[in-house]
Structures are given as structure tokens and as C-alpha cells.
Amino acid sequence: MRTRITELLDIEYPILAGGLMWLSDARYVAALARAGAMAFITPRSFDGPEAYRAALRDCSRMAGDRPFGVNITQSRRAAENAMVAAWIDMALEHGVRCFETVGPSPERLIAQIHAGGAKAIHKSAFVEHALKAEQAGADAVALVGAEAGGHPGTNKLPSFLCGALALQRLTVPMALGGGIGDGRQIAAALALGADAVVMGTRFLVSEEIWAHENYKRHLVEQPAEASTLAMRASGNPWRVLDNATVREIERLEQHGARHYAEFG
């Protein structure tokens, strides 16, 4: 199953496992690497640089000769990005040659990644942002629609419509994500013209994820309609399971809450 992205990253299957905050550790990422996909360690999940270095070492050992990546997510708060350049350098030192960048303009990050001989895939929710990433030198882009779990961004367009629009304008390889969970959907994305898919939520129930088994069982039991967007008013919404906490957040938003501190 060869596409421009499988060839770019030297992977067997056109599947990118999007970085999962707190969960994309060495065991999980290495398991996907051995299976022939690409997964990304998330540096922000670790308690300091030494723990991150240990995860890189462990992942390299467990993945064997299969490639794995690192997710570099830039925060809107500049102070939270102080370690970004160091995270890239540490990953390069441990042989990582694929990075998933997320957030504001990745131009500076891409330059650093390329200087280290690695590839950069920029993930965004808007076609315009994907085009800017291409202009900034991204080797590929990942485009996620409104169905995506975690942080889907503020674009309200569904994944396949975003993909169809992007393919009219992009020249670099494109991965498509958001609501993709089985082989038929992967085939549909490839038929549309995508070079790979991005999958995250589907992998949450895998045995390599350290989340509690009760959570995994609960997640499997939920119907498709069980998810909703929380914290829309903040400008940084989350796709989560609908529950009492989400409904309380909606109540606070109706009374003017906009910032994280106001939801405490």
C-alpha cells in the first residue's frame, strides 16, 4: 500500500496516529511503529527533559528499526514554548526523522527540523493554514475536520469536504483526519486523493494505551452521537464525551465565561 506519505516516511501503511497528550508514550508509539504506521511521542506529556529523553531511548529500543515521530505542539502562550527547540534537538539526537508540528506558523520549526535531516508534517484545521505550511516548507500536511477528537480547531467543515477543497490547491502530500476509525473510511480517504489518514480516538482503546480499562470499556459502549464540543467560547474547543461536566461548562459559557480560569 504505497502512497506519497508512506514513501516519505518509510512506513508500511498510510496511517498517522495523531499525538495524544499524556498517552503517546514510548510503548504506544513503538507498537504502532512495529505495526507499520507512524506515531508521535508528545514531549509535553513528560515531567521534564530527562523523562522525555528516557521515552525517546525506550521508544527507539522497542521500535527496533522502524521509524517513529515526535509531536511538537506550539502553545498560544509564548512562555509555554520555551522548550520547543530543545525538544526537537533531543529527538534528532535520538534518531527521530519525522515531526508533527501543530499550532502557529511552523516556519522556524521546519527550518530546524530540516537542518537536522528530518521531515515535517504540519497539522491544521483550515485549508488556508495548510497552504501556508506548504509555503513554509512542510514536507506534508495533515488536515483535520470538525469531527476530530481532542482539539479539532474552530473550522466547522467536515473532514472530507476539507480534504476535497485542499486537494484542489495543495501540491505536497496530505493526510486527512477526523472521525476516521475503520478500513472503509481509510479506503474512502485514499480514493478521495489523500495520501494517508490521521487517527487518534480509535487507538484510545488499544491495550498499549495506559488509560484505565473502565474508561476504555465506557468509550466503546458510546454511540456516535455521544461526543460534543466543549469550551467553544474560549476559541480553543475540545471534542469530548457529553457529560455533566460539559453541561456545566456550557452553563458557565452562557453566563460569560471565556477563559480557563473562569471554568475552575
User: pLDDT 10s digit of each residue in the chain, 264 long?
Assistant: 899 999 999 999 999 998 888 999 999 999 999 999 999 999 999 999 999 999 999 999 999 999 999 999 998 888 899 999 999 999 999 999 999 999 999 999 999 999 999 999 999 999 999 999 999 999 999 999 989 888 778 888 999 999 999 999 999 999 999 999 999 999 999 999 999 999 999 999 999 999 999 999 999 999 988 988 888 877 778 888 899 998 998 899 888 888 878 877
| Domain that residue 246 falls in | 222-264
Cβ atoms within 10 Å, residue 119: 20
Q: What is the DSSP letter of 80?
A: G
Question: Do residues 119 and 230 both lie within one domain?
Answer: no
Question: Do residues 54 and 113 both lie within one domain?
Answer: yes
CA 78 to chain centre: 20
CB 30 within 8 A of CB 57: no
Tell me how many domains the chain contains.
Answer: 2
Residue 115 lies in a domain: yes
CA angle 197, 201, 206 (to 5 degrees): 105
Question: Do residues 252 and 177 both lie within one domain?
Answer: no
Q: Which residue has the cell 504506521?
A: 37
Q: Which of 186, 210, 234 marks a domain boundary?
A: 210
Contacts of 217 (CB under 8 A, 6+ apart): none
